[in-house]
Structure 1
Amino acid sequence: MDLIDDDGPDGESGPGDNTHEFTVSEISGAVKRVVEGEFAHVRVRGEVGRVSRPRSGHVYLDLKDDRSVLSGVIWKGVAGRLPTQPEEGLEVIATGRLTTFPGQSKYQMVIEDIRPAGAGALMAMLEERKKKLAAEGLFDPARKRPIPFLPEIIGVVTSPSGAVIRDILHRLRDRFPRKVLVWPVAVQGAKCAPEVVRAIEGFNALTPGGPLPRPDLIIVARGGGSIEDLWGFNEESVARAAAASGIPLISAVGHETDTTLIDYVSDYRAPTPTAAAERAVPVRLDLLAWVDQQDARLTRAMTQATGQRRQRMMDLARALPRPETLVATAAQRLDLWGERLPRALIAVTRDKRVALADAAAALRPATLRRGLVDRRQAVGGLSARLAPALVRTLADGKRRLDDRARGLRLSVIERDTARKRGDLDRLAARLATAGRAQTGGWRDRLEALERLRQTLGYTETLKRGYAVVRAGDGVVTRKADAEVQGALEIEFADGRLGVIPGGGGAAGGKPKKPKAPPPEQGSLL
């Protein structure tokens, strides 16, 4: 049999070619099934390259070595549960599955878990975080707050079931019992870092003196372990929460040789949880002994100071003169003046008597009469000059008054007076008109209110066939109340009528003569 080659001169398929034709989607699906079937579970070691975190919450990254690059994706739900978040330059071991992305004809790895590739990678990442936080100043000693000497309330962030909390409580009880608030957290694993952050922020959010009081000191404690066990305290979120704490914070994570990021940002780093409790409070017995020593020193100092001042006062008292010496000179001077006083009084009296006699000699009757005559003559001369002076003064005043009267224009004053009188008459007329209008308005309004009062009063209701039943000063509205009354009064529109309940006047028969109502009710029969 001869084989016939149906290919054309250019190698294209001829009319007899029966090879199956795939669509693009079929080829993509076939490749996807092959890749996912062969690589359903793989572990890949490589260095994290580009890392992208869009708003969707998914994480896109590259895993690379010296020759190749593998795209990877971590879905949002998985990314939130990872104990270690991918960072550029970190060597990791990623676990997941391979798949394809038909939209771009590429394959990628769906990562379900990612961990650092050994302790060396963890230490490298830790060093990078330390450099970053140190550059921001979070390790600066100047920003660290002093630890309170004797806090009233101590907040402890640790596991409630471990030996750490028992050691802390036991040491506090031995040294100086204080109130302790325990915030339970996971001290390792994926939940460690977020729970520690919430605990530190929660203690800071409490209100001082509230139902759950705000601690004066926070202790973050955990026992020893490997670097993987302590990794939660190396997370950047924990370090930033400890640095932002407004309450002084003591870190006591691991043993003395273990160091985490929270130790660098805390206000004090304790080598062990027990050492943290010892740093938090002093020894009560030591304080009592110190107080006793200070009391003894104070007593000795006061006694010594009092003795020194007493001795000084006695020394100064010996240097002072005696009281009788101080007053002796003054007493002698007083005695001398007492002896000289009677003679001085006699001499002064004699001098005053001589002066009085000299003055009395000048007051003789002839001298007084002569002075009186001189005064009388002077008064007579003045009286003769008084009348002409008064006439002259009166004439001058009249002349000045005439001059001022001529300066006044009486015609202008009369014209202004007439104009003002006209204005006053017009204002009086307007006032009277306005008063009458306002009075009329008030009268109309009062009459309208009176009509409204009469319309709304009960007397108008009586005109429509109603009546008011009274017993004494009250109004009766029920039949049972009316039957027990001795006498009733019914008010109609045209008057009042007194009746007696049960008299038979309405039911038939001869009505009985009603009894006279009490004097205070008033009878209308």
Structure 2
Amino acid sequence: EPAGAGALMALLEERRKKLAAEGLFDAQHKQELPYLPRVIGVVTSPSGAVIRDILHRLADRFPTNVIVWPVRVQGETCAPEVAAAVEGFNMLPPEGNIPRPDLIIVARGGGSVEDLWGFNEEAVVRAISESSIPTISAIGHETDSSLADFAADKRAPTPTGAAEMAVPVRSELIAHVDGLGTRGRTSIRRKIARARDGLRASAAGLPRPAEIVGEARQRLDIAQTRLAAALGRARQKKALQLARLAPRLNRRVLLQTISTHRARIGALPLQAAMLRTLGAKRQRLEQNWQLVNSLGYRNVLARGFALVSNAEGQLVRSASVLAAGDRVSLKFADGDKGATITGPDAVVRTSVKKSKKPPPTSDNGQADLF
């Protein structure tokens, strides 16, 4: 079996494979570092060159707030203290008395495999992998490697490199912002100049306002002159009409006209009453005429009856006044027939006879059936 450093390296490789199989080192879980963190949490020893290098480099590049969580960086208590520090930063409330970091740096100086072993423990690796705050690992020198480096979102070769990775250079950022401002102002000036040139070119093709207003003023003057002349003519015309009407407007003529119209208006109710009476009489006459037509003897003949008269033209009202051999005339709706009385059961012989006009009666030409 391997012994010493060889045994530690074998154990380290076995642990790396196990944690990698769980997905703790997957790139899809890595978080982007904030561009300009307001608060940086540092997990390291409070004494030594590491914290001094980080603070000095941050002050040189971009001064920001730093919170140090002191831990032992080697020995038996190293791993639980580092894991507790990372978890403690994550548990800080955003609006608490102690500001919650936007970025965590886990740092330690260089050393042997045994000195750095605490950063290979599962507790530290899991705490860094599960951190919701982005993390940078800076364990040992550039040639050193630990499982904490695989779990962190970014790995820095040294603690100083971690500080450089955490914040930009303030002077460079200011220069960059100034450059952006200069380019923005230059771009705006160019756009304004192009717009001004375009406006001038467009204005060159437009008529001058004085020309537009002058033409409109001329048309207005002409219209005003014509309107004044038209008003004068209209006034003269109305004056002539008034002069012609003036004789008709004397008091005697007006009173006579009023009296005539008042008489006409007073006669209107009498005329309306007369019209209503005439309408009622006309309606009653039409009704009587329809009744006379329905009771006239010609309508009775049309229903199958006949009018019998003797040789003298007198109506026969009873069969007892006739004897055999008497000549009679039968009047039907469509014409007259002659006949001879032969007896009670004899057949009546008829001869065609032109219809005579019915004898005049006192009831509008209506004959008596009986």
- Mapping of residues 159-178 of structure 1, within 5 Å: 159-178=45-64
Question: 5 Å matches for 1:67-146?
Answer: 117-146=3-32
Distance change in 2, residues 1:218/1:372 (3 Å): same
How far apart, CA to CA, are the structure 1 residues paired with 2:25 and 2:246?
110
- The answer for the alignment partner of 1:257 in structure 2 is 143
Partner of 1:275 in structure 2? 161
User: Residue 455 of structure 1 corresponds to which residue in structure 2?
Assistant: none
Task: Letter of the 1:338 partner, please give it.
Answer: Q
Paired position in structure 1 for 2:258:
368
SS at match of 2:46: coil
Secondary structure of the 2:69 match is strand
- Corresponding residue number in structure 2 for 1:310: 196
TM-score by length of 2: 0.66
Is it true that 1:156 corresponds to 2:46 in the alignment?
no
- In the TM superposition, 1:225-374 aligns within 5 A as 225-353=111-239, 364-374=254-264
1:441-465: CA deviation from partner (whole Å, max 9, x where unpaired): xxxxxxxxxxxxxxxxxxxxxxxxx
User: Secondary structure at the residue paired with 2:112?
Assistant: coil
- The alignment's TM-score, normalised by the length of structure 1, stands at 0.47
- The CA distance in 2 between the partners of 1:304 and 1:163, in whole Å, is 53
Kindly provide the amino acid, as one letter, of the partner of residue 194 in structure 1: P
CA deviation map 1:173-210 (0-9, x unaligned): 22222221111111112111100011001111122243
- CA-atom RMSD in angstroms: 2.9
Displacement after TM superposition at 1:342 (Å): 2.4
Q: 197-206 or 221-230, which moves further after superposition?
A: 221-230
Partner of 2:313: none
Give a deviation string over 1:110-138, Cα, whole Å, max 9, x none.
Answer: xxxxxx84333333332333233223322
Larger radius of gyration: 2
Structure 1 residue identity aligned to 2:131:
S
Moved more, 309-318 or 271-280: 309-318
Percent sequence identity over aligned pairs: 56
The one of 263, 267, 289 aligned to 1:377: 267
The CA deviation string for residues 246-286 of structure 1, in whole angstroms up to 9 with x for no partner, is 11110001111222111112111001111001111111222
Report the secondary structure of 2:97's partner residue: coil
Deviations 1:382-427 (A, max 9, x none): 899xxxxxxxxxxxxxxxxxxxxxxxxxxxxxxxxxxxxxxxxxxx
Q: Of residues 89, 103, 109 in structure 2, which corresponds to 1:217?
A: 103
> In structure 1, what is the Cα distance between the partners aligned to 2:61 and 2:129?
28
Q: Distance in 1 between matches of 2:266 and 2:136?
A: 118
Q: Does 1:183 align with 2:69?
A: yes
Which residue is 1:75 aligned to?
A: none
Q: Shift in Å at residue 316 of structure 1?
A: 2.7
Please list the CA deviations of residues 68-92 of structure 1 after superposition, one character each: whole Å capped at 9, or x if unmatched. Answer: xxxxxxxxxxxxxxxxxxxxxxx6x
User: Partners of 1:353 and 1:124 in 2: how far apart?
Assistant: 130
What does residue 467 of structure 1 align with? none
Q: Which residue of 1 aligns with 2:308?
A: none
Match of 1:147 in 2: 33
Partner of 1:414: none
Unaligned runs of 5+ in 1: 1-90, 92-115, 385-525
* Unaligned 5+ runs, structure 2: 275-370
Pick closer, same or farther for the CA change 1:348–1:131 going to 2, 3 Å. farther
Do structure 1's residue 194 and structure 2's residue 119 form an aligned pair? no
How far apart, CA to CA, are the structure 2 residues paired with 1:217 and 1:278?
Answer: 13
- Rounded to whole Å, the distance in 2 between the matches of 1:205 and 1:377 is 112
Deviations along 1:206-259, one digit per CA (max 9) or x if unpaired, are 222432211111100011122222111111111111111111110001111222
Determine the C-alpha separation between the residues in 2 that align with 1:343 and 1:160.
Answer: 106
